[in-house]
Structure 1
């Protein structure tokens, strides 16, 4: 995979302002925000047809739990990495997120630099995995 190819990002958060802010921070030379959703059900529906390399996922949503949605993503969208972006600082939530496959955990209110640094670390892992996968073919 060429290093200049942009990775796709999908944002799931019930707060429209947070989704907009993340879109402004993330969209650029390295990342293409391909969609967003404000509820767990909307996310499931959109992600059935819209693939993403990375999903930014909130824990608290009006119609579901981000941890349940994380499990759905791991099951239905293998190869998609998840970055939790949430106000939840509960230790068990953080631990469960990481144990269930989230590649990072950012607490709101977030700093744009932290968001990008964390995304860049996840992107490096994705690119390394893809390069290794191509080497085995």
Structure 2
């Protein structure tokens, strides 16, 4: 099987329909969705063994806070770029997410173009960082 040319993406959202929609939007030549999780705990379990280039992360989950999970991801997968995808429009939440390392913030409901534009922007940043280190 040929090596996928795109970057890997992991989706964390408590809404199954949102996860499915993001997967449908993202999966393709540029990006490969390598997994998803519906709770903070499931995300921690899966991300212990699954690495991703980009992680789409919701803020509000039934068993945890996406901002706390963002910090956990930064410690365990420092090379991963996190894109917040959430209904939370609170300015403090947005600022804290970006201050804590999120590379972007998309508010639900989203459209496919917005998701892909943001992923492409993050992918360009990741590739530039990797090229600088090469």
Q: What TM-score results when the alignment is normalised by the length of structure 2?
A: 0.96
- C-alpha distance in 1, partners of 2:105/2:78? 19
What does 1:36-51 correspond to in 2, within 5 Å?
36-51=36-51
TM-score of the superposed pair, with normalisation by structure 1: 0.94
Is 1:129 aligned to residue 129 of structure 2?
yes
**TM-superposed deviation, 1:5:** 2.4
Query: Aligned partners of 2:40 and 2:102: how far apart in 1?
Result: 16
RMSD: 0.8
Distance 2:27 2:126 in 1: 18
User: Secondary structure, in 3 states, of the residue corresponding to 1:14?
Assistant: coil
Cα deviation 1:87-106 (Å, max 9, x = unaligned):
00000000000000000000
1:25 aligns to 2:28 (yes or no): no
Q: Secondary structure at the match of 1:85?
A: strand
Matches within 5 A, 1:49-128: 49-128=49-128
Q: Which residue of 2 aligns with 1:10?
A: 10
